[in-house]
Amino acid sequence: MNHIKRRLFAATALLAALAGAPALHAHLPPGTPGMALRGVMQKLGADMQAVTGAISIEDWATVAQLAPGIAKHAEPPAEEKALIIGWLGAEAGKFRGFDHQAHEAASAMGEAASRGDGTAVIAAFARVQESCLGCHQAYRKPFIEHFYGH
Ligand code: HEC
């Protein structure tokens, strides 16, 4: 009987530990199971896809509606931002430069779309896409290696 009680106690202790599981994350490498930036990027990817679809049918109203979501995309929480900036070190300015280009070009794309100026929309769209590509080429792989360890 005593021995059953001991097992029960052990099981209860384990359950209690599991209930406190979020604290375990503190021991895992940062970025596990996912960085908030990934969610931000997935939304950007979806918005850019939607813009591409709208451009294909010259639906400037939809482009104008989507552009602000790209220009003023969400940001990871302050803690994660600090972690990323710390990891970037001297590269932080260059990283922010790509982000700034995305904001600026997406705003220009929205303004051009509001005017119904398709040529200017497409030129701005290319600049948005170049900012995505530039940042990804420079940082995506090292980011994943550092924060996800693969
Ligand atoms: C300032 C740098 C920067 C800019 C600008 C940037 N990205 Fe990213 N992006 C990243 C990093 C870093 C990752 C890797 C994040 C990860 O895997 O957690 C990433 C990953 C992604 C992913 C993959 C997400 C996944 O599920 O693995 C998509 C999609 C994406 N970005 C879309 C975009 C689009 C579209 C733009 C332009 C509108 C853009 N990004 C601009 C840095 C940037």
Looking at the predicted structure, is the pLDDT value of residue 16 above 70? Answer: no
The pLDDT value recorded for residue 7 is 54
- Kindly state whether residue 24 falls inside one of the protein's structural domains: no
The pLDDT value recorded for residue 4 is 52
pLDDT bin (cut points 50, 70, 90) of residue 24 is very low
- Kindly state whether residue 128 falls inside one of the protein's structural domains: yes
The pLDDT value recorded for residue 2 is 53
Rounded average pLDDT over 104-123: 98
29 versus 50: the higher-pLDDT residue is 50
17 versus 63: the higher-pLDDT residue is 63
- For residue 44, the domain's CATH number is 1.20.120.10
Looking at the predicted structure, is the pLDDT value of residue 20 above 90? Answer: no
User: Which is nearest to 103 in space by CA: 140, 138, 128?
Assistant: 128
* Residue-range definition of the domain harbouring residue 117: 30-148
pLDDT one-digit tens code per residue, 120-136: 999 999 999 999 999 99
- Kindly state whether residue 113 falls inside one of the protein's structural domains: yes
- Kindly state whether residue 142 falls inside one of the protein's structural domains: yes
Atom 30 of ligand 1, residue of closest alpha carbon: 41
Average pLDDT, the chain: 85
d(CA 10, CA 4): 10
- Kindly state whether residue 130 falls inside one of the protein's structural domains: yes
Instruction: State whether residue 96 is helix, strand or coil.
Output: helix
Instruction: State whether residue 101 is helix, strand or coil.
Output: helix
Query: Is 44's C-beta closer than 6 angstroms to any atom of ligand 1?
Result: yes
Query: Is 128's C-beta closer than 6 angstroms to any atom of ligand 1?
Result: yes
Looking at the predicted structure, is the pLDDT value of residue 22 above 50? Answer: no
- Kindly state whether residue 3 falls inside one of the protein's structural domains: no
Rounded distance from Cα 133 to ligand 1 centre (Å)? 9
Looking at the predicted structure, is the pLDDT value of residue 100 above 90? Answer: yes
pLDDT bin (cut points 50, 70, 90) of residue 64 is very high
The pLDDT value recorded for residue 9 is 45
**CA-31 nearest atom, ligand 1:** 18
- 99's tokens: 């982000």
Query: Is 95's C-beta closer than 6 angstroms to any atom of ligand 1?
Result: yes
How many domains would you assign to the chain?
Answer: 1
- Kindly state whether residue 118 falls inside one of the protein's structural domains: yes
Query: Is 84's C-beta closer than 6 angstroms to any atom of ligand 1?
Result: no
